[in-house]
Amino acid sequence: MNQIKIILLIGRHEDPHIKKISNALSLLGENYEILDTISETDFFKILYREEGVSSYFQINTKKIFTEQIKSVWNSSSVKISVKNSLKKETYQFINQEWEEGINSLWYSISARWVNSPESIVSSHNKLQQLRKAKDIGLKIPKTLITNSAENAIEFFYDCHEQLIAKT
83 and 133 in a single domain? The answer is no
User: What's the pLDDT at 52?
Assistant: 75
**Chain segment 105-148, per-residue pLDDT in tens:** 888 888 999 988 888 778 778 888 889 999 999 999 899 988 89
C-alpha span between 135 and 100 (Å, rounded): 32
Q: Domain containing 145: what range?
A: 125-158
115 and 132 in a single domain? The answer is no
63 and 145 in a single domain? The answer is no
3-state secondary structure (DSSP) of residue 148: coil
62 and 25 in a single domain? The answer is yes
Strand ranges across the sheet with 112-114: 32-35, 6-10, 69-74, 112-114
Residue 166 lies in a domain: no
C-alpha span between 99 and 126 (Å, rounded): 23
84 and 136 in a single domain? The answer is no
Residue 1 lies in a domain: no
Given a contact cutoff of 8 angstroms between Cβ atoms, the answer to whether 30 and 7 are in contact is yes
